[in-house]
Chain A
């Protein structure tokens, strides 16, 4: 008996040692990290093949915030999930990083915005892989730098195409991902799964299109030209795909690394999508009419031209989740933005002592700027701005956040020092940046397809889907990106697709069924072989808001996990 106990004890000890060794090994090699990735000033241009009207631009120097969370185990063998929110101009830190993906999260059971502290996440994605959260340029903790930083006009000029357009934004993310991978050789050739929310859909499709067709973004064939980026991607592929050393790597090979995208309520072909949303919302009996009936104020599109105004201001519902009162989801983003301004919370969520990050300190950011107007006023944005979608996203939300931005709650000033008036430690959404995407955008004004409503992005998305496995959420209560009409909006690309089917019944015994079947035309893309059909996983989240990971975290986690396994990604 004693011998048996001894054997069992030894086994336990050995097992324990083994597990401990394993844990220590992975912790020693790949640690959690948080900090800034430097992006030098980048010169790029937009062109339609002519020197005439070619728009050459140079960005500000940037420090892009990232937070890396190593997988719970076997991190070197696990994929890298790259998370970002949208806006454009919105932070990932107060978005996906705070909403049931990393080890700590806001509490979705507390309706006022998630409570006064972060809680452990029961469905942390670190069980599936390594997580990399990135705040876009000038959003969240990321900040730009420039020489004439105290000059209003110089700052104002930087909030334009040279720092804010869909292509350069995607290029920023590629640079951060590739540089992060280069700094972590253990992960350098691991599969990368892109997870983008909302405008993050446009960011994902642009990022993937550049990665899959990188040579054309440096040789004059594409509208956006960034030669340095094209070379940086080639250098990365030279390491990851050595058999193609110095050659242009074809997309079907590249997808061995960048072959999976998870899109949460995304903008993809958003120009067509908005058209379909408008048609659907104005259809008698639509969800908007139902909301009107619920609150006893009939909806009439002739009276309420701006549907978001009706839902939010008249019916008092949150367009991000129309079963909840106005600002319900903004409450979570706003609350995360407040909590993350405390170094203790930020250190908890990132698992890094953020006081050790030198670029956080005011002394290291003498050339930093986040906004052009030090009062963060919105006088330059006319009330008469015509696009209801942008208006909803911009003016209203900006006013909601403005006072809290000015006050800079938290302890960062005490810990890191007092910033200059045009700098901020954190901006949940940088509306100066957002405005630059939509309005103060010389590339857009000069006729380049840089706005995410442009059909170019839908075509790029459909081209990516030929190679990239795709998962898109279909949240029932989200009116901002109303995904119920997403299949119809993709079907508008009649030059590429013969037909689009939305299959709502389970095909594989899924608990939350849904697939979009795209039937490509044989002439869909020049020089492309016969494509046939592609299937997009499109599960319905019937209780969900725009931020699906917040409202149905477990279901979302389960579906993603199953889908990744189906598609050959090692996550166990």
Chain B
């Protein structure tokens, strides 16, 4: 017993960084649980002594560091960034479908139809990769320092073709292509973490963890388009008008990331193990700003601005549309249309698969 306590005391007495003191105290709670378990087992003194000896042996071989690398998936919904998709879809419908319905209803054209290839996609998942180095304070408790990179991009090539039959019998064929139409977000997250673990049957280890750190995030909206209007008659067909353009808005900002979850790991060979983690990550940046660029027909404009959610009421002869969308473009007085600040929210449930090496 003395040896055990001396041994334990020696470990505890080692120069652990003070900043981990609080984390250590927290670790006493599960240790209490372990002690209770041991008390139950102590009915058999022989068994108890054997376990203590084994533990003492293992402590004498105690490897304090573990390197982990992982990759995985986050199920997220950066709703403010995704507003682009809903807004652009509504606008597309308003300026084409609703407009053509109005032209038909008011007798300005005979009919219309459309073809559509692909759809605008929201960001709904991301693929994090990362790594951490753990320092084990005990068999059950570890602290970590790590790095996580998450990246997500939804990019698609869209094409809309509208065919309207004029009163004259001519066809106006309008084609608008977005190639690419993309939304993307990425973040770099250095983390500090606290981990507790318990060995289960068959070498399986169950772990709970809380990691956190600053999040350096970026987001981007990029749409490059080409519009073409073709006139078609009984024996002629020509491009009446065409133009091209691009809109790009970039943003970056710093926020907070916290990741709370658990995992199971299973040793494969010697010091190597594989693990599967599940967690919920709160990853939010509340202030985003950056550069923007727009090109239309070879002319370009650039700007810098803070991202916000802008409300917009579009009123045309065929109706009105109220909508909100994110932007960092605030010319002149349009700031007054700002509904709120933009939030880049990359939070979500995560699943990660990784490999660890202990030394």
Which chain B residues numbered 302 to 330 have a C-beta less than 8 Å away from chain A? 312-318, 323, 327, 329
A445 with B168, Cβ < 8 A, contacts A48-B315, A455-B317 known: no
Between A45, A51, A219, A456, the greatest number of chain B beta carbons within 10 A of the residue's beta carbon is seen for A51
- Whether B312 contacts A50 by the Cβ 8 Å rule is yes
CB pair A442–B312 under 8 Å, yes or no, is no
Of the listed stretches B18-26, B54-62, B169-177, B351-359, name the one at the interface; the rest are far from the partner chain. B169-177
A385 interface contact, C-beta 8 A = yes
Residue B331 is within 8 A (CB to CB) of chain A in the complex: yes
- Chain-A contact segment, one of B3-11, B149-157, B208-216, B291-299: B291-299
- List, in ascending order, chain B residues with CB within 8 A of A379's CB: 236
Contacts of A48 in B (CB 8 A): 314-316
* Residue pair A384, B312 in contact (C-beta under 8 Å): no
Q: Provided the pairs A48-B316, A449-B317 are in contact, do residues A220 and B233 lie with their beta carbons within 8 angstroms?
A: no
Q: Is B127 an interface residue (CB 8 A)?
A: no
Q: Within 8 Å CB of A52, what residues of B?
A: 87-88, 91-92, 95
Q: A51-B294, A384-B169 are in contact. Are A446 and B95 (CB under 8 A)?
A: yes
> CB within 8 A of B91: which of A50, A57, A387?
A50
How near does chain A come to B144, taking the closest CB pair, in angstroms?
Answer: 44
Q: Do A219 and B332 contact each other (CB < 8 Å), given the known contacts A53-B95, A382-B170?
A: yes
In the bound assembly, the distance between CA atoms of A446 and B99 in angstroms comes to 9
Residues from chain A with Cβ under 8 Å of B314 in the complex: 48-50
> Distance in Å from the Cβ of A496 to the closest Cβ of chain B?
16
Q: Is residue B241 within 8 Å, beta carbon to beta carbon, of the partner chain? A: yes
B window 184-217: CB within 8 A of A: none
- The CA of A445 and the CA of B229, in the complex, are separated in Å by 9
Given the contacts A440-B241, A445-B174, A447-B316, A382 and B169 also touching, CB distance less than 8 Å = yes
> Which residue in chain B gives the minimum CB-CB distance to A53?
B95
Q: Are B240 and A440 in contact (CB under 8 A)?
A: yes
Q: Decide: B241 and A157 in contact? CB cutoff 8 A.
A: yes
Q: From DSSP, what is the main secondary structure of chain A's interface residues?
A: loop
Cα distance A7–B312 when bound, in Å?
A: 80
**Which A residue sits closest to B247, measured CB to CB?**
A51
In the complex, chain A residues whose CB is within 8 Å of the CB of B316:
48, 447, 449
| Option from B92, B166, B229, B299 in Cβ contact (under 8 Å) with A58 | B299
Residue B167 lies at the interface, judged by CB distance under 8 Å to chain A:
yes
How many whole Å from A434's CB to the nearest CB in chain B?
Answer: 16
Shortest CB distance B308–A (Å): 14
Is the Cβ of A220 less than 8 Å from the Cβ of B333? yes
Question: Contact residue range for chain A?
Answer: 20 to 34
A160: chain B residues within 8 A (beta carbon): 240-241
**Chain B nearest CB, measured from A493 CB (Å):** 14
Which residues of A have CB within 8 Å of B323?
Answer: 50
Q: Which residue of B lies closest to A157 (CB)?
A: B241
Q: Is the CB of A445 within 8 A of B172?
A: yes
B42 contacts A by Cβ under 8 Å: no
* Structural contact, B229 and A442, CB atoms closer than 8 A: yes
Contact string against B for A residues 255-268, beta-carbon threshold 8 Å, 1 for contact and 0 otherwise? 00000000000000
Residues of B within 8 A of A382 (CB): 168-170, 233
B229 & A53 in contact (Cβ 8 Å cutoff): no
Residue B99 contacts which of A50, A51, A447 (CB distance < 8 angstroms)?
A447
The residue in A52, A386, A454 that gathers the most chain B C-beta atoms within 10 A of its C-beta is: A52
A456 to B334, CA, bound (A): 23
Q: Do residues A220 and B334 form an inter-chain contact, with CB atoms below 8 A?
A: yes
Contact flag A56-B296 (CB < 8 Å), given A382-B169, A382-B233, A440-B241: yes
Interface contact A56-B297, CB-CB below 8 Å: yes
Look across to chain A and name the residue whose beta carbon is closest to the beta carbon of B166: A386
Residues of B within 8 A of A58 (CB): 297, 299
> Are B299 and A56 in touch, CB under 8 angstroms?
yes
- Do A442 and B315 have beta carbons less than 8 Å apart? no
Output the least CB separation between B99 and chain A (Å): 5
**Binary B-proximity of A187-225 (CB < 8 A = 1, otherwise 0):** 000000000000000000000000000000011110000
How long is the Cα–Cα vector from A380 to B239 in the complex, in angstroms? Answer: 12
Chain B residues, Cβ within 8 Å of A221: 333
Least distance between A545 CB and chain B CB atoms (Å): 30
Contacts of B313 in A (CB 8 A): 49
**Does A290 reach chain B (CB closer than 8 Å)?**
no
Query: Is there contact, CB below 8 Å, between A447 and B95?
Result: yes
**B-contacting residues, A103-158, CB 8 Å:** 157
Using known A-B contacts A48-B314, A56-B297, A455-B317, determine if residue A386 contacts B241 with beta carbons closer than 8 Å: no
* Closest chain B residue, CB of each to CB of A56: B296
Closest CB in chain A relative to B111 CB, distance in Å:
14
Closest to B334 in A: A220
Q: Considering the chains assembled together, what is the distance between the CA atoms of A456 and B166 in angstroms?
A: 23
Q: How far is the CB of B55 from chain A (nearest CB, A)?
A: 66
In the assembled complex, the Cα of A386 lies from the Cα of B229 at a distance in Å of 20
Please give, as numbers and ranges, the residues of chain B lying within 8 Å of A220 by CB-CB distance: 331-334
Residues of B within 8 A of A54 (CB): 296
Closest CB in chain A relative to B250 CB, distance in Å: 15
| Given A384-B169, A385-B168, A442-B241: A43 and B95 interface contact (C-beta under 8 Å) | no
What's the Cα separation between A394 and B86 when bound, in Å?
43
Output the nearest chain A residue to B332 by Cβ-Cβ distance: A219
Q: How far is the CB of B45 from chain A (nearest CB, A)?
A: 79
Does the CB pair A53–B334 fall under 8 Å?
Answer: no
- Which residues of chain A are within 8 angstroms of B329 by Cβ–Cβ distance? 51
Report the minimum CB–CB distance from A246 to chain B (whole Å).
15
Given contact pairs A48-B314, A50-B91, A219-B332, A43 touches B169 in the complex (Cβ within 8 A): no
Bound CA–CA A54/B167 (angstroms): 26
Known contacts A50-B91, A220-B333, A440-B241, A386 near B317 by CB under 8 Å: no
Contacting residues of chain A (209-247) with chain B, CB-CB under 8 angstroms: 218-221
Known: A48-B316, A442-B229, A446-B95. A386 touches B332 (CB 8 A): no
Query: For residue B167, which residue of chain A has the nearest CB?
Result: A386
Contact residues of A between 422 and 466, Cβ < 8 Å to B: 440, 442, 445-447, 449, 454-456
Q: Indicate the member of A58, A380, A445, A456 with the most B CB atoms within 10 Å.
A: A445
Residue of A at shortest CB range from B242? A157
Taken together as a complex, chains A and B put the C-alpha atoms of A440 and B166 apart, in Å, by: 13
Report the Cα distance A160→B243, complex, angstroms.
Answer: 12
- Which residues from B are CB-within-8-Å of A53? 91, 95
Q: How distant is A484 from chain B, measured CB to nearest CB, in Å? A: 25
Considering only residues 220-236 of chain B, those with a C-beta below 8 Å from chain A are 229, 231, 233, 236
Q: In whole Å, how far is B159's beta carbon from the nearest beta carbon of chain A?
A: 16
16 additional A-B residue pairs with CB within 8 Å, beyond A49-B314, A219-B333, A454-B317: A49-B312, A51-B327, A51-B329, A56-B245, A58-B297, A157-B241, A220-B331, A220-B332, A220-B333, A382-B169, A440-B241, A442-B229, A442-B240, A442-B241, A447-B99, A447-B316
Please list the 9 inter-chain residue pairs (A to B) with the smallest Cβ-Cβ separation, ordered nearest first: A386-B167, A52-B91, A56-B296, A384-B168, A48-B314, A53-B95, A442-B241, A219-B332, A447-B99
Interface residues of B (CB under 8 A from A): 87-88, 91-92, 95, 99, 166-170, 172, 174, 229, 231, 233, 236, 238, 240-241, 243, 245, 247, 294, 296-297, 299, 312-318, 323, 327, 329, 331-334
Interface pairs (9), CB distance under 8 Å: A43-B299, A50-B91, A50-B312, A52-B88, A57-B297, A160-B240, A220-B333, A382-B170, A442-B243
